[in-house]
Amino acid sequence: MTAQGEKGGKVSRRTFLKAAGAGVAVAAAAGAGYYYMSTQPVGEKPPIKVGIMFPLTGVYSGNARKQLDGARLAVKEINDEGGLLGRPVQAFERDDELNPGVAVRRARELVESVGVEALIGCLGAHIVHVTNDYMKTTGKPYVASCIPVVETHKSGVRGPNTFFELPSTIQISFALADWSIENLGKKCYVIYADYAWGQEMFKYLKRRLDERGAEVVGTDPFPLGSTDFAPFLTRVLNSNPEVFAIGALGTDLVNCLKQAAGFGMKEKMKILALNNTMTDTLAMGVDVFSGVYSFLDFYWQLEYPSTKNMLEKWWKAYNEPPDTYGIGAYNAVREWAAAVERAGTTEGSAVTVELENHHYDWSKGDEWWRACDGQSIQECFVGIGKKPSDVKEKYDIFEIQGSEGGEEIMVSCSELGY
Amino acid sequence: MAEFTLSSLLISLLNGVSFGMILALVAMGLALIWGLMEIANFAHGNFYALGAYFGYSTYMMTGNFFLALAVGFLGVALSGLVVEPVLLRRMYARPPIEGLLLMYGVLLIIFDLIEMTWGSVGIPFSIPKELASYIDIGVIEYPSYRIFQIAVTALLALGLWLFLRGTRIGLVIRAGVQDRQMVESLGVNVNNVFTLTFCLGVGIAGLAGVVSAPLFSLYPAMGNDILIKCFVVVILGGIGSFKGAVYSGLILGMASSISTIVWLPLADIVIYLFMAAFLLLKPGGLFGE
Amino acid sequence: MATSQSLVSTERLRPTVSLIIVALLFVFAPYILPPSIAADILVFSLFALAFDILFGHMGIVSFGHAAYFGLGAYGAALFLTYAKLPPTLLWLSILAGVLLAGGGAWVFGFLSLRRSGLYLALITLAFSQMVWFVMLKWTDVTGGENGLVNLPTLVFQIPGVFTVNMNSPILIYYFNFVVVFVAMILLYRLLYSPFGLIIRSIRDNEERVGFLGYNVQRYKLMAFIASGLFSGLAGALYCIYQRFVALHTLDWIMSGDVVLMTLIGGGGTYFGPILGAAIYIGIRDIISFYTAWWRIIVGVILVIVILFFRQGLWGMINTLRGR
């Protein structure tokens, strides 16, 4: 396919192409220029830049948007209260697309090009894992706002300035095991999604159940993305447990619960979802969760003064109650900023010193940062889904049944290698 | 590994048929398009997804599931009407690999269009109330929706088979699959036949999408997941072969179902091994030429 | 489509100059663009060039080339993680990655090349997916979805003369640049040697080349392996720069990406793949600051390129310049 036209045609096409090429080059330069301008400070005092990164597109985007809300609210409040160290805080938002390659790329760009003093965010254990690894090399604080896997906690893996705001798989599993033994029963059947998160939840759940005298009557891993739980459900029914624990998320969890309901399992045993949020339940269908127990990191009907405070603020800003991931991101930003203020500098190790062992209560009662591994020690709640007839208004979907918390539901520092 | 109780075995069997029929239905369209037009429709999975989303919106707006099915089929078939004449037609003279690459571009476009319209989060699709009960089959209670789905997909397959066997157009399509040039030289307007086949093929995939939505929920990447499986089905069954699509669809569906009780961590790798093996050794598939 | 003769004669006059310009662009890139984007363009240019050995010069579409990129990345990462060697010897990890990728290319290429066209593409896809699943499931060794992090940094040392610890992104970038530049020169010499001539002749008229007495299958396999080796090199360098490896280096999206880059930039030319890599990464990374919908943009560009500008951007530029 050659372009041998008449001489006239060839020249004009070449000229066109040159002009187009020049135009593209100019546009690209303009774009790059604009981009760099946007990262330069505005106003008189240079702002303190912070990076916030969540999977704003993809399967977790629902919860990620809540995280963005939380982070933005925190930044706004800080600035309204006079800024940080007398300077305004400027947040740079990024989408990690739930992809480790993208996450590191964006983190790099935030730290190296934009020049952020800290990175906050995440949703997805594998994302935290690689982001933590990168942030280690920068020396800047990284406050993760999602559930990490144990590997990321371990000595040598975790960066010295990395902190985890949401409870780890260990805390959740231990808390659920403890509470369930007290309140639901001692014979337990566990099914779990066969990948890192599910495997870990199961491992620590079983460990705690075994330690505390409960009986795991059966377990089954299922492939992620399963649509068909009937084979597992028939086996659960045959084992006749008191508690049926499900380590699944999203559509897996919905499918499983729907099918379990179909088999009449809600009446025959107590069903426990190993992870859940209000946001997810609303998206998946309140009726699916009625009568089902779930782990809840946070719920807007908690009785703490800070919760009521948070509820008011959040409602005003977003016209809905706050939820797990929004709170996680909010807490993370607030804690980082408060530590910076106390330290008098944004420098990584100084901020870390201020965070270690520090207690805080922004939203759900007392929480504190464990020094050895940066894990936030906090209460883990269990709620039961309300029957649709009991639901008084849109967000009134759970009833908190109890909680477990404190350092007892976390493994010791030495076990992690510290 | 778990116990093979009769009930769990029976359920797995039925689930295998259920999933297998869906695979077969989607693969049928793919097989026809591939056989007749020599285009490996890499965007086929996303037409399936598109149908599911069309059906979902229709159901949300009207509450009528049968209307949702119809819209799923028609909506996707109509979008095929846009894609085929405008884009695909120019590829017939070119090597088939270019058609694949073009459809990869279409895949990207449809994916983003779905995310733009319906968001990137998964949407659960409740089973319509009329169909959401359980049928007692002796040892087990089986969801009536699945029975409905198996019946509908079987009916559709039958309908397509009758269409291909009994109508003149069906005859032309089958002849074209066997020998396109011959059909052309017999004076048939090949363009129209191609357009019809494409729209029919993707339309069926869209319909399959609506039918399976209540079982599997909706999410933008749902097309990608079923795409590879359908490619394997068509390769195993034979490109252009209707019979092949049905048989290997069912086989793959059953295998997939059995693998949940006989837990093979390497189940997925086996699928690709089969795909490669067939491509290398028996590219005609089981029933193709 | 330019004939092989013109490729040898005319493209030879300009390339030294062009190569120097490209080299300079890469040298200054980290200061013009965000450094991580520059690093990506660098590595993916190499990947696209490697891919183009098959795509443009041999006329073979592989839809599973991520396998070699990923094997290179994983090979390097596994070596860095498990080989207990002093830091000064860690650069061998790059060799490990290259060899693993080359090995994979040998096996998969041997099998895949028994078919052609569409079937070949699908077979390569199947193989690539197999590698992906192995890396996914073999969690103990490969870290599964978490991948491998915490990779040690390379150290270059001439005892008594200097020690360079590659712990800063800029250092790693320039190290990568040197390696990529050398690889580019090697590739250039490969593609514009008699070997390259034979490859392109096979693309143009396979039968005839066979009649001339060449073992066509052997040349195809050699080209495949060469492509695999250089792809593996790109993967290993990517891993070194990123300091971690994860499954996205192996998925079919990565395979699709390199096809897109090469197509858009222009297959069969020397600078096409480099241009394509720059454009694609530019769109993906810069546009995604402004909108989440970069995929549809890429999809539309791909469709337009396939329909109307099959030779790609650089190919089009070449054609208009009368080559």
Dump pLDDT digits (tens) for C124-156: 999 999 999 899 888 888 888 778 887 888 888
Average pLDDT of chain A, as a whole number: 87
What is the reported pLDDT for A26?
A: 54
Residue C55 and residue C61 in contact, taking contact as beta carbons nearer than 8 Å: yes
Q: What is the pLDDT of residue A275?
A: 93
Residue type, B96: P
- Is there a contact between B124 and A263 if contact means CB atoms under 8 Å apart? no
User: Do B269 and C134 make contact, defined as CB atoms within 8 angstroms?
Assistant: yes
**Residue B266 forms contact with C (CB below 8 Å):** yes
With cut-offs at 50, 70 and 90, classify the pLDDT of residue C15: low
Q: Name beta bridge partners: A376.
A: A369
- pLDDT(C308) > 60: yes
pLDDT at A223 over 70: yes
Q: Sign of torsion, CA C202 C206 C210 C215?
A: positive
Is residue C267 scored above 70 in pLDDT? Answer: yes
Q: Which of A37-46, A170-179, C15-24 is modeled with the greatest confidence?
A: A170-179
Task: State the Cα–Cα distance between residues B194 and B188, nearest whole angstrom.
Answer: 11
Q: How many beta carbons lie within 10 A of that of residue A327, not counting itself?
A: 27
Between A112 and A251, residue with greater pLDDT = A112
Residues in contact with A65: Cβ distance below 8 Å, sequence separation at least 6, in sequence order: A54, A56
Instruction: Please state, as a whole number, how many other Cβ atoms lie within 10 Å of the Cβ of residue A2.
Output: 10
pLDDT of residue A38 exceeding 60:
no
What six digits make up the tokens of A258? Answer: 């729907």
Locate the chain B residue with the closest alpha carbon to C112.
B280
Q: Give the chain B residue nearest C291 (alpha carbons).
A: B116
Residue carrying structure tokens 């069903």: A271
Question: Percent of chain C beyond pLDDT 70?
Answer: 95
Range in B241-250, C123-132, C237-246, C282-291 with the lowest mean pLDDT: C282-291
Residue A340 confidence (pLDDT) above 80 = yes
- Using CB atoms, pick whichever of A58, A59, A226 lies closest to residue B260: A226
Helix (H) or strand (E) holding B258: helix B242-261
Q: Tokens at residue C119, please?
A: 């079937």
Q: Which pLDDT value is given to residue A126? A: 87
Q: What is the pLDDT along chain B (289 residues), one digit of tens a residue?
A: 445 567 767 877 888 898 899 999 999 999 999 988 888 999 999 999 999 999 999 999 998 899 999 999 999 999 999 999 999 888 888 888 889 999 999 999 999 999 999 987 778 787 777 777 777 777 677 778 888 899 999 999 999 999 988 888 888 888 888 887 787 788 778 888 899 999 999 999 999 999 988 877 788 888 988 898 899 899 988 888 888 999 999 998 888 777 766 656 666 777 888 888 888 888 777 876 4
> Which amino acid appears at position C315 of this protein?
G
A59 CA: distance to closest CA in chain B (Å): 5
Contact B236, B230 (CB under 8 A): no
Chain C residues in contact with B105 by the CB 8 A cut-off are 298-303, 306
Q: Residue A289 is inside which H or E element, if any?
A: helix A286-289
All residues at 6 or more sequence positions from A78 whose CB lies less than 8 Å from its CB, including other chains: A84, A89, A333, A334, A337
pLDDT of residue A28: 61
- Residue B4: the pLDDT is 57
- Measured at the CA of C139, the angle between CA C133 and CA C141, to 5 degrees, comes to 105
| Average pLDDT of span A353-373 | 93
C306 contacts in chain B (CB < 8 Å): 91, 98, 101-102, 105
Task: Read off the pLDDT band of A1 (50, 70, 90).
Answer: very low
Q: What does the block give as tokens for C5?
A: 């003769």
Number of helical (H) and strand (E) elements in chain B, helices listed first: 11, 2
Q: Do A101 and C34 touch (CB under 8 A)?
A: no
DSSP code string of C125-153: HHHHHHHHHHHHH-HHHH-TTT-B--PPP
Convert B165-182 to b/e letters by CB count within 10 Å (16 or more is b). Answer: eeeebeebbbbbbeebee
The pLDDT of residue A263: 79
The model's pTM is 0.85
| Nearest CB neighbour to B5, from listed A222, A234, A255 | A234
Q: What is the pLDDT of residue C88?
A: 83
Question: Does the beta carbon of A32 lie under 8 angstroms from any beta carbon of chain C?
Answer: yes
**What is residue C156's predicted lDDT score, i.e. its pLDDT?**
84
Under 8 Å between Cβ of C176 and C233: no
Could you report the predicted ipTM of this complex, rounded to two decimals?
0.88
Q: What is the DSSP string of C254-274?
A: HHHHHHHHHHHH-TTSSSHHH
Report the pLDDT value the prediction gives residue A43, as an integer from 0 to 100: 56
pLDDT computed for residue A156 by the predictor: 87
| Residue A47 to residues A91, A115, C60, Cα–Cα distance (Å) | 9, 11, 53
Looking at the complex, does the CB of residue B121 fall below 8 Å from at least one CB of chain C?
Answer: no
B113, C296 contact by CB (below 8 A): yes
Number of residues in chain C: 323
- pLDDT for B239 equals 84
Q: Is the distance from CB of A362 to CB of A73 less than 8 angstroms?
A: no
**Residue A111 — very low, low, confident or very high, per pLDDT cuts 50/70/90?**
very high
Radius of gyration of chain A measured on its C-alpha atoms:
25
- pLDDT at res. A361: 94
DSSP helix/strand/coil, A167: coil
Q: Closest Cα of chain B to C54: distance in Å?
A: 14
Element at A162 (helix H, strand E): strand A162-164
The distance of C225 to chain A (nearest Cα, Å) reads: 26
CA dist., res. A296 & res. A313, Å (int)? 21
CA B55-B106-B47 angle, to 5 degrees, is 25
Of A61, A254, A262, the CB nearest to B120: A61
A chain contacts of residue B108, beta-carbon cutoff 8 Å: none
List residues of chain A with CB under 8 Å from any CB of chain B: 57-62, 194, 220-223, 225-228, 230-232, 234-235, 238, 250-251, 254-255, 258-259, 262-263, 283-285, 288
The one-letter amino acid code at A401 reads Q
- When comparing pLDDT for A320 and A31, which is higher? A320
Render pLDDT for C181-230 as a digit per residue (tens, 0 to 9): 999 999 988 998 999 999 999 999 888 998 998 899 999 999 999 999 99
Give residue-wise pLDDT tens across range A308-336.
Answer: 999 999 999 999 999 999 999 999 999 99
Listed residue (A111, A68, A106) closest to C289, CA to CA = A106
The pLDDT value given to residue A259: 82
* Closest by Cβ to B2, choosing from A235, A254, A288: A235
